[in-house]
Structure 1
Amino acid sequence: MEPHEQLLDWATQQGVQLNGIAPQRIPGRGIGLLATRAIKPEEIALEVPTRCLRSISTVPKAITRKLPNTITVHGLLAADLALDKTAKYDLWNAVCPSPDDLTSMPLVWPAELQALLPQAARELLSKQQAKFVRDWSAVSEAYPNLEETGYRYAWMLVNTRTFYYLNSKLEKRGKDDHMCLQPVADLFNHGDEGCNVSFDTHGFAIKALQPYAQGDEVKICYGRHSGDFLLVEYGFVMDDNRWDEVVLDDVVLPRLSWRQKQRLEEVGFLGKYILDRETVCYRTQVALRLLCCGIREWKRFVDGIDDGEASQGAVNKLLVEMLKQHKAKADEMVEEVGHLEIGAPEQRSALMNRWKQVRSLVGVHISSLEEAEAE
């Protein structure tokens, strides 16, 4: 019997209820949850009772007493996973990704590859690294014999497999620290439009939002995340991500003078210039008009008095120029990564694919803007 089949037997004995789905190994993609029959919208496909969760409430007191109250739930759950020597969760642990499976996460990439990530991904990774360092510092002080590699592996498991969760012990913690682990549900892969996940005091319920035919993979949506977020937080890149976006700060900010940056900061529009699958954000429109318009016209736009129609042509022309610069950067990075030999092949592949996604998204907007100009 395969590990995921043993997990299913164990989980159902614990009260987990599967309705029309079952775990199955998917060639090249690990384990996922497939429909065993036709599933209708609004059908509950999975229920996980509260007693099956691993949360702040289930971490042994012997561990919580040795760690500071300020440690994150993320760090606490990782400590529990890393230190647990009992057989209680053996069947659950057996289907978790191995350390090798997690090498696609930038957290464990060589520094040379990390430095080549797109700007947004680098910023996310920097925050993630700082969070890990804080957690590891607390845990290593309490457990000096625990190896960092083992704890990091447990920490990444928590990072990639937890669900948003709230109970009385979590109410005073920040939203990013409302989390728990749950069996079987952590086998769901990500999809833009996956099942709805909800919870109450009784446990979690995962409800289908669309019909599934027998044999279809049933997914949940991890959130409306960009490709940079999915890569850094989960270690994968996903084509046709409807929520993908590109940060344009690298091509916008260098064009601005010190005084222009000061003006943008004064009105709250300095930085965080985003291009999504539909258009550039309003912040970008504000910044580009500062480069295209006089100050009075720019102020009227910022104040909502001027709709910006008169200056839109100049803004679009400048935007195309900046997007071509960004696309050239993406071309350069794809070329550079293709010649690298550092890191694991899957790490270089993920990095290259992310830059290809950036290039594609930017290229689509360049074409769209140029076609509109030609009309």
Structure 2
Amino acid sequence: MEPHEELLEWATNQGIKLDGITPTRIPGRGIGLIATRTIKPEEILLDIPTSCLRSIATVPRSVTRKLPSSISVHGLLAADLALDTSTKYDIWNAVCPTPEDFSSMPLVWPNELQEMLPRPGQVLLRKQQAKFSRDWEEVSAAFPDLDEAQYQYAWMLVNTRTFYYLNGRLKKRNKEDHMCLQPVADLFNHADEGCNVSFDDEGFSIKATSAYAAGDEVKICYGGHSGDFLLVEYGFVMDDNRWDEFPLDDFVLPKLDSRQKERLEEVGFLGKYVFDREAVCFRTQVALRLVCCGVREWKRFVNGIDDGEASQNKVDKVLLDIFGQLDGYIEENRAAVIRQEIGSPGQKELLLKRWQQIKDLVVANISNLGMRN
């Protein structure tokens, strides 16, 4: 019997109810959940009782009493996974990613490749590294015999497989600590739109939001995340991500002098410039009008008195220049990744794909600007 088939049998015995879906091994993508019949919107596909969750409430006292009460729930759950020597969760553990599967996570990449991540990815990775370091420092002090690689593997399992969850013991925690692990549900892969996930005191329910045919993979949405977030936090990139975006600060801010930056800061529009597949954000439009227009005209635009139509052509010309610079920057980075001899082929392929996704956003915007002018 395959591990996912054993999991299904175990889950049913635990009171977990699946209706219309089943775990299946998908070539090249691990295990996912596949529709076994036609599914209609609003059907409940999975019910998981609270008794099956691994949360702050299920971590043994032998672990919690040795750790400071301030340790993150992420760090605590990872410690529980890394230190567990019982057979209670063996069937569940058997379908989890292996340490080798996590080679796609930038957290374990060589430094040379980490430094080739797009800027947003580098920022996210530094925050992730800091979180892991804090948790490992506290756990290793309490359990000095625990191997760091073993703990890091458990920490990445928690990072990639937890669900938002709130109970009485979590209410006083930071929002990022509102989490739990749940069997079967952690097999759902990500889509930018997916099934609805909800919970109450009884447990979790996952409901279809669209129709599926028998044989379709059924997915959930991990959140409206950019490609850089998906890569750093989950170790994959996704084509046609409707939430993808990229910052423009490095290309917009150099076009502003100190007085212009002061004016933007005064009205709350300095920095945080981004674009997606469709267009640049309104903040970018505000900043570039200060470059293209007189101050009076700019103020009318900021205050909503002027719709900016008269100045849009000037702004578009600056945008075309910015996207040209960004395209060159992308190509430089892609070439550097190709030349890099450190890192596995799979890691470099992921990195190149992410840079290509950003280029695709740029090309789409250049095309949109061309159609408008």
Which interval holds the TM-score relative to the shorter structure? over 0.9
Does structure 1 residue 258 correspond to structure 2 residue 258? yes
* Amino acid of the structure 2 residue aligned with 1:255: K
Deviation at 1:368, TM superposition (A): 1.2
* Amino acid of the structure 1 residue aligned with 2:188: F
153-162 or 337-346, which deviates more: 337-346
> For residues 156-200 of structure 1, what are the alpha-carbon distances to aligned partners after superposition, in whole Å with 9 as ceiling and x for unaligned?
100000001010011111111110000000000001221111111
Deviation at 1:21, TM superposition (A): 0.7
Aligned length, in residue pairs: 373
User: 2:372 corresponds to which residue?
Assistant: 372
Does structure 1 residue 73 correspond to structure 2 residue 73? yes
User: 2:319 corresponds to which residue?
Assistant: 319
> For residues 179-234 of structure 1, what are the alpha-carbon distances to aligned partners after superposition, in whole Å with 9 as ceiling and x for unaligned?
00000000000012211111111000001111111111111111111111111110
Residues in 2 aligned to 1:41 and 1:216: alpha-carbon distance in whole angstroms? 14
Unaligned runs of 5+ in 1: none
Paired residues of 2:278 and 2:364 also in contact (CA < 8 A): no
Residues in 2 aligned to 1:306 and 1:66: alpha-carbon distance in whole angstroms? 62
Deviation at 1:111, TM superposition (A): 1.1
Residues in 2 aligned to 1:61 and 1:303: alpha-carbon distance in whole angstroms? 58
Residues in 1 aligned to 2:233 and 2:185: alpha-carbon distance in whole angstroms? 18
Deviation at 1:68, TM superposition (A): 1.3
User: 1:150 corresponds to which residue?
Assistant: 150
Residues in 2 aligned to 1:253 and 1:61: alpha-carbon distance in whole angstroms? 52
> For residues 64-91 of structure 1, what are the alpha-carbon distances to aligned partners after superposition, in whole Å with 9 as ceiling and x for unaligned?
1111121111111111111111111111
User: 1:115 corresponds to which residue?
Assistant: 115
* Amino acid of the structure 1 residue aligned with 2:238: M
* Amino acid of the structure 1 residue aligned with 2:339: H
Deviation at 1:118, TM superposition (A): 1.1
Of all paired residues, the percent bearing the same amino acid is 69
**Secondary structure class of the residue paired with 1:42:** coil
User: 1:8 corresponds to which residue?
Assistant: 8
User: 1:62 corresponds to which residue?
Assistant: 62
User: 1:347 corresponds to which residue?
Assistant: 347
Residues in 2 aligned to 1:83 and 1:239: alpha-carbon distance in whole angstroms? 37
TM, length-normalised to structure 1 = 0.97
State how 1:276-295 maps to structure 2 within 5 Å: 276-295=276-295
State how 1:231-270 maps to structure 2 within 5 Å: 231-270=231-270
> For residues 326-367 of structure 1, what are the alpha-carbon distances to aligned partners after superposition, in whole Å with 9 as ceiling and x for unaligned?
111112222221222211111101100000000011111101
User: 1:85 corresponds to which residue?
Assistant: 85
Query: Cα RMSD over matched residues?
Result: 1.1
User: 1:362 corresponds to which residue?
Assistant: 362
Residues in 2 aligned to 1:222 and 1:315: alpha-carbon distance in whole angstroms? 35
Residues in 2 aligned to 1:153 and 1:82: alpha-carbon distance in whole angstroms? 8
Write out the 4+ residue segments of structure 1 that deviate beyond 4 Å after TM superposition.
none
User: 1:186 corresponds to which residue?
Assistant: 186
* Amino acid of the structure 1 residue aligned with 2:3: P
Residues in 1 aligned to 2:371 and 2:309: alpha-carbon distance in whole angstroms? 18
Paired residues of 2:228 and 2:354 also in contact (CA < 8 A): yes
Unaligned runs of 5+ in 2: none
Deviation at 1:241, TM superposition (A): 0.7
User: 2:32 corresponds to which residue?
Assistant: 32
Deviation at 1:279, TM superposition (A): 1.5
Residues in 1 aligned to 2:345 and 2:117: alpha-carbon distance in whole angstroms? 16
Residues in 2 aligned to 1:84 and 1:258: alpha-carbon distance in whole angstroms? 57
Residues in 2 aligned to 1:115 and 1:262: alpha-carbon distance in whole angstroms? 32
> For residues 115-140 of structure 1, what are the alpha-carbon distances to aligned partners after superposition, in whole Å with 9 as ceiling and x for unaligned?
11111111111111111111111111
